[in-house]
Structure 1
Amino acid sequence: MKPLPIQNSWVLVTGASTGLGRASALRLAASYQAKPLIVGRRLDNLRELQSEIGERFNVPCEIIVADQREIEGREKIAAKVIELKVNAAFLAAGLTSAGPFDASRADAYAEVIGTNVAGFTDLLARLIAIFRQQPFESSIIAVSSLAGETSVPFQAVYGASKAYVSTLMRALSVELAGTGVSVGSFAPGGIDTDMAALSDLKWGKFGLMDVDRCATLAVDALVHRRSFAIPGMGNRLTYLASRALPRSLMSRLAALPYRRPQ
């Protein structure tokens, strides 16, 4: 499949306030002169990113302050996508919850599921409907996680939500074949971001991928319309091991970086 031409085109980036979403918006502007439509919940962070993109790359950038969990937020995003004739989307918005699985954390789990599953699904459906009506080809990449392929004790709900993302995108990549709308998932392992800092990892940043390197590979997956991409040799070997070794063993190995509750 030919790379999607995105130079001077608008590209939606959700979860752009921090982390991989922010780094990917910068990479789109730097490498492709694409015009990022950045979405997040923190206006100050988005304004700072908008200024950086304009000053460093002289590329237009627009902001949407929205929460993916809220229908009003998803409607706002969809309306702007139509207005700007966006032809690609990098969906990086996501939440995690780390620690032992416990009923007292129901509110945190509702936020994770509301963002990573329910809100994501509705926004994705809206984007696909819009892109199918446009006269040009388009690409959507959703950020999943290696955690969705191996399962992750002490971050179990997050891992389950990312398994949903990967499974959904695999199915849709077949459904949408021949429509001009390409969809796929991008499944990194640990990345050196604020989210990793919240995951209570006992080895700190050891083994975490640099966020800018990860963003370069993520944007490449978007442009080349990959149906499934795992960045980094170590992550790819972990994925292959998860398919060859007993799942119970992989789950025990995946728990090793986490501090166990006292």
Structure 2
Amino acid sequence: MDTQTETKGLAVVTGASTGIGYELAKCAAKDGYDVVIAADETGIHTAAAQLKEFGGAVHPIEVDLATPDGVRRLVAAVQSLQRPVDLLMANAGRGLGEAFLDEDLQRAQRVVDTNVSGTIMLVHAIGNQMRNRGEGKILLTGSIAGYMPGSFQAVYNATKAFINSFSLAIRDELKGTGVTVTCLMPGPTDTEFFDRADLENTSVGEMKKDDPVMVARLGYEAMMDGEGDVVTGWKNKLQSTLANVTPSGVLAAAHRRMAEPKDQAN
């Protein structure tokens, strides 16, 4: 039997059809893990075909993690494999631009359902399995956006503030259990996020962004090392440090300059 197969286990990655999620899944696959990858679009099957080149088993699940039923379906699919989850990378996320009162409320609610509700439901289910077993690693994708009041991204930034806080809180709760929790906090990254969130016509949408390969690698390595959190990119580290000592009103005004649509800016 292959030694690598004996020593590696199973990784579950959400939001894995493109971007950071796909690159996280690639890190695990290259490292010898079998992977379950989930997303709410058909591209998850294309991602699975690409990940199979690393030799491990790849199980794509097309499911909407903004709904309780979608999370239950993913958990059931993982349980059907009758294998423990060694790595959980809860990366699924959704953004939305524009001023809050101008946003479609259903789309805004879907940001909350994806980023917060679906994430905590999944972590609760798989985290309990890990704690009962006495081992496992969890990575949640937060954001440096969680440090700033997000003018013109109010709901998104608030959800990331939740994830940043939630990650560090449950990390402390799980001390001594054999389960570690890491929060990956990237800055603007070169993914489809900005197009999907209607942020292309903004300063942040047009600025140079970090490479998702680099972001995922640093997050994956931090998780494997059991670190509490990792901010990727030196500019983002500086921004997160300054955010802790800058008045909220100043931060909100600075965020407005980045995220307000250019055709609306004063």
Normalising to structure 1: TM-score of the pair? 0.90
5 Å-filtered alignment, 1:38-117, equals 38-43=37-42, 45-55=43-53, 57-82=54-79, 83-102=82-101, 105-117=104-116
Distance in 2, Cα, partners of 1:210 & 1:35: 24
Distance in 2, Cα, partners of 1:175 & 1:163: 19
Q: Confirm or deny that 1:173 pairs with 2:171.
A: yes
Distance in 2, Cα, partners of 1:7 & 1:230: 29
CA contact (8 A) 2:203 2:262 kept: no
What secondary structure does 2:139 align onto? Answer: strand
Q: 1:112 to 1:244 in 2, by over 3 A?
A: same
Distance in 2, Cα, partners of 1:54 & 1:195: 25
Q: Confirm or deny that 1:183 pairs with 2:154.
A: no
Residue by residue over 1:101-156, the C-alpha shift from the partner in whole angstroms, topping out at 9 and shown as x without a partner, is 11652111111111111121111111111111225x21101101111112221111
Distance in 1, Cα, partners of 2:7 & 2:262: 47
Question: Which residue identity does 1:223 align to in structure 2?
Answer: M
- Pairwise CA distance, 1:161: 0.6
Question: Which residue identity does 1:244 align to in structure 2?
Answer: V
- Pairwise CA distance, 1:93: 0.4
5 Å-filtered alignment, 1:1-262, equals 8-30=8-30, 32-43=31-42, 45-55=43-53, 57-82=54-79, 83-102=82-101, 105-135=104-134, 137-197=135-195, 198=197, 199-200=199-200, 201-202=202-203, 204-258=205-259, 259-260=261-262, 262=264
Question: Which residue identity does 2:185 align to in structure 1?
Answer: A
Question: Which residue identity does 1:208 align to in structure 2?
Answer: K
Question: Which residue identity does 1:184 align to in structure 2?
Answer: T
CA contact (8 A) 1:149 1:239 kept: yes
Question: Which residue identity does 1:123 align to in structure 2?
Answer: L
Distance in 1, Cα, partners of 2:244 & 2:7: 38
Aligned residue-pair number: 253
- Correspondence for 2:3: none
Structure 1 stretches of 5 or more lacking a match?
1-5
Distance in 2, Cα, partners of 1:36 & 1:224: 19
Q: 1:7 to 1:28 in 2, by over 3 A?
A: farther
Normalising to structure 2: TM-score of the pair? 0.89
Q: 1:204 to 1:260 in 2, by over 3 A?
A: closer
What secondary structure does 1:256 align onto? Answer: helix
What secondary structure does 1:62 align onto? Answer: strand
Structure 2 stretches of 5 or more lacking a match?
1-5
Question: Which residue identity does 1:253 align to in structure 2?
Answer: A
Root-mean-square deviation (CA), in Å? 1.8
What secondary structure does 1:244 align onto? Answer: coil
Distance in 2, Cα, partners of 1:250 & 1:104: 22
CA contact (8 A) 2:85 2:126 kept: no
What secondary structure does 2:16 align onto? Answer: coil
Distance in 2, Cα, partners of 1:254 & 1:216: 27
Distance in 2, Cα, partners of 1:214 & 1:7: 26
Residue by residue over 1:89-108, the C-alpha shift from the partner in whole angstroms, topping out at 9 and shown as x without a partner, is 11110111101111652111
Question: Which residue identity does 2:9 align to in structure 1?
Answer: S
Distance in 1, Cα, partners of 2:224 & 2:206: 29
